[in-house]
Amino acid sequence: MEAKKNVAKELIEDSDRYLMRTYNRQPLVLRKGRGIKVWGSDGKEYLDFVGGVAVNVLGHCHPKVVIAIQKQAQRLLHVSNLYHIEPQIKLAKLLCTHSFADKVFFCNSGAEANEAAIKLTRKYAKEHYGQERFEIITALNSFHGRTLATVTATGQEKFQKGFEPLMPGFRYVPFNDINALQSAITTNTCAVMLEPIQGEGGVKVPSDDYFKKVREVCDKNGLLLILDEVQTGMGRTGRLFAYEHYGITPDIMTLAKGLGGGVPIGAMLATERVAASFQPGSHASTFGGNPLVCAAAIATLEAILEDGFILDHCNRMGAYFIKKLSQLKDDYPEKIVDIRGKGLIIAMELTIDGTPAVRACAEKGVLINCTAGNVLRFTPPLLVEEKDIDHLVDVMGEVLGK
Ligand code: PLP
């Protein structure tokens, strides 16, 4: 154990020495994972309620995903998008069959998917409405990525500071406020871009009728509705896509995180009408829709869709989780302000900074995440069980009781 601890210490020293300091990392080196469990390089076991921040929808190293990757790796790793790619075609067909969309563009991350959505929107608007229609309204407190366009779309100054000048063409309104959205529309507006639930912003769930009204406002003003489902898609909220909760469909939707079950893949989906504005040469990605990642994504999507078990389970576990956390809130009303979420994207808002709780939970073998300063965010694999949730809640009780 001592020798293994030294290996971890050396690795962390090398991490500090050789990697750019873009992350505030926990002092842990994770080496192995199965289901909801991960193990550190010192052999210590953890329950993973971070799940790659909504990436590991099927848990770690799900056999179906692993086998799909192994098989595809033996057949074909990569070919250029100058050719048709079998797993890419199959994945696009599956996504379109199970969503509002008619067409898919593949890329490698959430930011790239949103970047593609912004480009498609601008091109569509110019072709249909003229040069002046380029402005996209997004929400304050939103998160859409770290490229220059997507960090500008992100309605949080802290992510933009130091990178000015930002991209022109974005305007921000408070989330879940339909009047503010209506008032922000100008003759330059071409689209509204929103997360169905704000993830990084602190798991903010809008009122039930908000998106119906957003859709109406978009239709009335000839605006496209772009939904960023990078975090909420792929079953996370208990439906395959979160927009299904709201009884509307978007014109464009972006996916990444859970899409590949752990491998890097992003996708931008659109209706036929909108997608027609992309023609050969409009946009591209060398690795986008690569055979290996598409094979993993097909396995992930098929597992989620198989007989509906995972989505039912996600809903049941989500309700159980919220019930248990609400009991904890009753025990610690001075420390816990709110419990909220949908499916298995759940938040516990504290009156205090959440960082010490993240550290204390990790010491006790449970990995959780803190966002927006004081919001503990739980995005475990969708196959999490009651006993795992019970354990997390016990540990949280010990941590908050100190
Ligand atoms: N959009 C949303 C809603 C996200 O939560 C994230 C990442 O957290 C992104 C976009 C950016 O995704 P990526 O980190 O894959 O670029």
Residue 213 sits in a domain whose CATH number is 3.40.640.10
The per-residue pLDDT of the chain, averaged, comes to 97
3 state SS of 24: coil
Backbone angles phi, psi at 261, to 5 degrees: 60, 20
For residues 317 and 290, state if they share a domain. Answer: no
Beta carbons within 8 Å of 297's beta carbon, 6+ residues apart: 91, 259, 260, 261, 263, 265
- Of all protein residues, whose CA lies closest to atom 13 belonging to ligand 1? 110
Distance CA 93, CA 91 (A): 5
> Does 51 sit in the ligand 1 pocket, CB within 6 Å?
no
Distance CA 228, CA 4 (A): 41
For residues 348 and 255, state if they share a domain. Answer: no
For residues 7 and 111, state if they share a domain. Answer: no
Rg (CA), the chain: 21
> Does 260 sit in the ligand 1 pocket, CB within 6 Å?
no
In this predicted structure, what is the pLDDT of residue 255? 99
**DSSP conformation letters of 309-344:** HHHHHHHHHHHHHHHHHHHHHHH-TTTEEEEEEETT
For residues 95 and 31, state if they share a domain. Answer: no
For residues 300 and 164, state if they share a domain. Answer: yes
In this predicted structure, what is the pLDDT of residue 1? 67
Average pLDDT over residues 304-308: 91
For residues 243 and 140, state if they share a domain. Answer: yes
Average pLDDT over residues 215-242: 98
> Pick from 259, 287, 307: which residue ends a domain?
307
Beta carbons within 8 Å of 371's beta carbon, 6+ residues apart: 199, 200, 201, 202, 203, 347, 377
For residues 302 and 314, state if they share a domain. Answer: no
> Pick from 289, 307, 325: which residue ends a domain?
307
Provide the CATH number for the domain around residue 314. 3.90.1150.10
For residues 177 and 272, state if they share a domain. Answer: yes
Backbone angles phi, psi at 288, to 5 degrees: -55, 125
In this predicted structure, what is the pLDDT of residue 164? 97
> Does 195 sit in the ligand 1 pocket, CB within 6 Å?
yes
For residues 212 and 126, state if they share a domain. Answer: yes
Tell me how crowded residue 24 is: count the other CB atoms within 10 A of its CB: 6
> Does 199 sit in the ligand 1 pocket, CB within 6 Å?
yes
Atom of ligand 1 nearest to the CA of 109: 15
Average pLDDT over residues 99-117: 98
For residues 189 and 337, state if they share a domain. Answer: no
> Pick from 307, 335, 350: which residue ends a domain?
307
pLDDT band at 157 (very low <50, low <70, confident <90, very high): very high
144 Cα to the center of ligand 1, angstroms = 6
For residues 176 and 289, state if they share a domain. Answer: yes
Distance CA 210, CA 367 (A): 33
The total number of structural domains in the chain stands at 2
For residues 84 and 222, state if they share a domain. Answer: yes
Domain enclosing residue 120, as ranges: 63-307
Write b or e for each residue in 147-173: b if 16 or more Cβ atoms lie within 10 A of its Cβ, otherwise e: bebbbbbbbbeebeeeeeeeeebbebb
Q: Which helix (H) or strand (E) holds 65?
A: helix 63-75
> Does 141 sit in the ligand 1 pocket, CB within 6 Å?
no
In this predicted structure, what is the pLDDT of residue 231? 98
Average pLDDT over residues 207-227: 98
Average pLDDT over residues 147-162: 98
User: Which residues are marked as active site?
Assistant: 143, 228, 257
In this predicted structure, what is the pLDDT of residue 308? 86
In this predicted structure, what is the pLDDT of residue 4? 79
Test site for ligand 1: of 108, 138, 143, most ligand atoms within 8 A of the Cβ: 143
